[in-house]
Structure 1
């Protein structure tokens, strides 16, 4: 506490105030109020102006914060509670001065910490916004990844070729549906197994090989194509399929190898078709050969028939050999018809159809083939048999083969029955609805041995 006169000199100060300002008592009283104030807005500008106004009697707030200057130059934050009184005829300002420097320092520390916390909070808010942005990006990427994964899965399912993905150790990572069907292994059971357990490869032109070796080749060579020859894939059930296989390594953008992808194409049907086409090619070649033979044979038959005609003229109609010559001529004409069929076959032509009596053709063919044998024929013709649209030569050949089988089945002789009838109900046969003639041939032969029956 201290009191100051109107001339701005100290009148009284307690020891605490003198000590707070860093003075000794004699020196303190030699100073004026200006010596205790720093040259700043909280010092001289504020305290001195209020002191002078208070001395003049201006009503001012009693309490206010200010700043004092200690003897050693330290600035002291204080609270001044001042009032003016009359003492011995003089105007005296009495002030109670409290040092709040430590409170100010604490306040400044708190404010600084508050600013730091606020700055940190703002930084956290910024990081949180960035984190939320990153989170949203991750959510978007995950959704896109899920869509791409779904599209990839749908694509793999729809691919007709088998797709097998493995890691670098050759263990199964993924199979699509086509690969499941080919190998006989479902994805749930195959995952994690060495690919060599799923199936083996072999072929007529290659040695049997473990498919795990193929994976090693893919990852080592950066790709593999082993479809230059058909390979036989033996699956879980032991079924063999003909396949083509190609493979590629799976690598990251940094070049790290993660595994391999094998594409397995089932070409079993294609392989069968190629074999059938090869057979057709052979048949075509055989047809050309048959055509050449038939042409040459037809020339020979022409010469034979011509000579037979001359022989019949020389022998006369009533000659003992005229009947034999007639039969030879009939057989020769049949041979001509056979060569004509061979020529038709070699040229890929259609049968030459015409309307004819099947009964007459049957009687003529059977009588000719059974002549001189110990087999008797019995014809059963039911009603008026309609004419049929046939190639007589080809039907005659069919009947010829059936009767020859009958003769071979009854070496000791016997009976053969030929039944001919009109039919319209053919639902039990793969035929279009219409009118047909049914021919049934039965004999008393031993039949086909059981071991030869399917």
Structure 2
């Protein structure tokens, strides 16, 4: 600006000199020739010449005055404008919110700073001008004095630049700054203008945004659901690891929504059905403002499995945000809860029916077994009696299946070698069928702690179902192996040692729509089927703390897999059992307590046949009274057989407590049609020496008496 001002001044001076020279030359030249032309008298001409000189001085003085006055006025105006411009520059220079530094381009020395710099860094103007770039920097790489001088040198020889810098104040505190460097010519000197902006607040905001983005990223990745979003064109911008794992994508893949849906829903008809409503609602949501309705779908995963998901969709900032919530396990758990509720509600009814049924069967089966003993071996009625006994035994097995659902029923457990149990179940269940077996048992297969009868029933029911699925014959493969489960396993079982037993048939398979009902009581796809087979399997396995799974493809067979808790080691080899010796004739008096008159009569007759004296009663109160009176008379009962459940009266459990209070050494046998009752399972914990399950045969009753009497 100063160079331009000097140039203007020089131009004005040249103009004044030029005007004066032109006017003076014209005056002298024209006035001289005019005087020669107009005056011929020399004396007069000399006088006029004097006046002409005076006139020249006066006129040129006036002309010079005008020219110099106008030049001075313009000069004053220029100076005023220059001062105003300088004032504006200084106001702007010192009032900007950013610190300004002016450095010498050659040496990097600090030439000038604005007031904002002093306020920002805490220095006075005099102190600031004596600083070096090292005094204003962190002092550690990459924010050292050498780094700062290198930036100044690069700005002096290159284009403007902006960098992020760690600056230091006078008090030693540090702050983040944005530094812009630009080369400039100031007063003919080569300078570097440095603008420093405090970006601490922006840095904190950016850091907070970065942390929030990182938290959001972690949340999206750890969220137990598939999450993704796409732009308006349908191009996927983000998929979390769940979706990637399910559908086989990697983090760098950016498929379209159409491509993603084609992979998740490979069946075109099903895909069109699911997507039709979804697309329609996405199209109407911006206008109506109504959120997109969640939709259910079953997607196919890259590993061949399928997942039942809920698709939730939201339109946010011109993006389509979608979440895929896997409800497969939840649905399975719900089904398990429903099954448990069905079994529980059925338990009360089934237990009551089975108890009454077993009481009736006790009279039938007991009398048949007693009649078989009374008849001569060659008697013509022996065959009919035996056939009736077999039929009654089958009815008892049906009652036992009903008792499997009884509420509170517990299996009578003991350590069982699983391999041997499987061999026995297969041998008995496949006898006379066209089905071949392939049994694969892992070496050192762990034993299980289970009710042998119940578990044999469960295995037999599965084998029978497999045979019915292969009426023309086939191969039933049974695999048994140790399968320890870790915590939070997919089966929902506690961590520990388990055995896995799989029954794989080559039958017709189970339709998909029927698979979720196969464990329901009284549900059967077979004409005339009771539906208790697999329902009892499910109940038995659950009561043993395990789980049973089904996998079936229509036309390609069915696999039923048991997961049963194991004892963690193989069962020890059992010593060969010695054949039992025939029992001696009974001695002593036996007290029989049962609410059913037919059972009291039958038991009395069987015991008398075995040589015992018998006293009967109908309830617990009478049994306690009779036991007390016999003890007081010095004729105590050798054994007391008591029914566990007496409607509207004292049962065997309460009566046993009172009798044991009278005689701690009393020999007590509990009898019940509730074979799965906890008292039957753990009879010793309630003071009983043995338990007999209704319906019982004469020989079973005899063996129980002999075991009890032999202990004393």
TM-score (norm 1): 0.48
TM-score (norm 2): 0.33
Larger Rg: 1
